[in-house]
Structure 1
């Protein structure tokens, strides 16, 4: 099965292609937030470098957030259009799940963090078990003070932003998922029998709480 992975959850664009044991990834990190300009260009280059045609793709996996909302919509629109034109399945991947998958195997929990506004973080907790990444706590919108006392390995853009406070980060620390990780995560969901309705797919969004109501740290 040939799987295309699409990530635009952060400032940069990443596409990954899995074809059995063959893997190829292209990233554009020269200019932030150039998703709409570069995603089709990257896809054309990816097809040329792999010698494949779009019609050979069997499944598209796309990160749906949390992340930068407008950027996510670019990736999701691209993935939807391509899936519909090819008549193939489209499956969503949570950004935090993919980030945790990129963390090294450690004997402690892994917490994936994506920065939100101010000191808020999108967070989810995981455990690495025999090479598999198991989610232990559902995604939530937390403040830094609610995260920093956790005895865990931290990954993601939120971990990088608050590196001094959190300290336990791998080197290098991924900021957002790679296209290959999104492809692998989507393939795993698909093979386990999970399915998404492409028409209903939207970016994963969690509303920030009322800061005045919840007070300052």
Structure 2
């Protein structure tokens, strides 16, 4: 029997779940504009463990969203996951944020394209088949009217880019699943359990989130 703690902090959604043998037992999450991850994450972790009727010693692994996504959000989630893995001496599992978002579509046909907002008309995207195998790798790309035009089957978009992209991506075979806005730790459960069974884990000491684009710090303007 395995209990895996799933942590998803790559977007505005601060999300934590407990899964038993790949099935979500309990999930706590909140999506706020102010990115309350630093305040909420450890509270949610304590709550899902206690309310699931287990202790931290019952955990067999920790799974964390590896990105792409918010630099600050990813750092908070990965730091918490690493700390628990060190303390409990259990493995760390890294889960592709976009795969989690794709899995929430639950469709059986066409292609699934999860997109996370980068800036302006840029998004982080990946193309999946309904079985969640990768059709096209992750990209940071500018969306225009020709984006994804090579796909003639039904295309399902998930993520927080619907509002800015649906006026540009207007082909008849494009469907925006607007209720699937952020990745959820509840959707990580099956993915993380599959990885756990295959011993697909990462080195706790050296693992770093996948930011996709280099984090940039803008120097303050010099005073004249």
The equivalent of 2:177 in structure 1 is 170
* Structure 1: segments with no counterpart, 5+ residues: 209-217
- Whether 1:184 aligns to 2:181 is no
Paired residues in the alignment total 204
2:128 match:
126
What's the CA shift for 1:199? Answer: 1.4
Question: How far 1:90 sits from its partner (Å)?
Answer: 0.5
Match of 2:199 in 1: 193
Give the number of the structure whose residues are more often helix, by fraction: 1
Q: Return the alpha-carbon distance in structure 2 between the equivalents of residues 160 and 90 of structure 1.
A: 35
1:80 corresponding residue in structure 2: 82
Structure 2 CA distance for aligned equivalents of residues 72 and 192 of structure 1: 24
Question: Against the structure 1 CA distance between its residues 159 and 199, is the aligned structure 2 distance closer, same or farther, given a 3 Å change threshold?
Answer: farther
Q: Give distance in 2, aligned partners of 1:44 and 1:108.
A: 39
Which residue number corresponds to residue 218 of structure 2? none
What is the distance in 2 between the residues matched to 1:147 and 1:88? 42
Query: 1:25 aligns to what SS in structure 2?
Result: strand
Alignment CA distance shift 1:85-1:13 (3 Å): same
Partner of 2:161: 158
Q: Secondary structure at the match of 1:48?
A: helix
Candidates 114, 117, 138, aligned match of 1:115: 117
* Match in the other structure for 1:98: 100
Displacement after TM superposition at 1:104 (Å): 2.1
Post-superposition offset of 1:171: 5.1
How many Å separate the matches in 2 of 1:47 and 1:207? 34
Where 1:168 maps in the other structure, the secondary structure is: strand
TM-score, length basis structure 1:
0.86
Q: Is 1:3–1:58's contact at 8 Å kept on the other side of the alignment?
A: yes
Report the alpha carbon displacement of residue 12 of structure 1 after superposing the two structures with TM. Answer: 2.4
User: What is the CA RMSD across the aligned residues, in angstroms?
Assistant: 1.9
Equivalent residues of 2:60, 2:90 under 8 A apart: yes
In 2, the alpha carbon distance for the partners of 1:161 and 1:182 equals: 26
SS in 2 for 1:124: strand
C-alpha spacing 1:88/1:193, structure 2 compared with 1 (3 Å): closer
Moved more, 179-188 or 21-30: 21-30
Give, in angstroms, the shift of residue 157 of structure 1.
Answer: 1.5
* Residue 190 to residue 47, structure 1, CA distance change in 2 (3 Å): closer
Shift of 1:22: 5.6
Match of residue 212 from structure 1: none
For residues 86 and 193 of structure 1, the distance between their equivalents in structure 2, rounded to whole angstroms, comes to: 17
Could you state the TM-score of these two structures normalised by the residue count of structure 2? 0.84
Moved more, 49-58 or 138-147: 138-147
1:160 and 1:133 map into 2 onto residues whose CA distance is 24
**Please, which runs of 5 or more residues in structure 2 have no aligned partner?**
215-224
Partner of 2:221: none
Q: How far, CA to CA, are the matches of 1:136 and 1:30 in structure 2?
A: 32
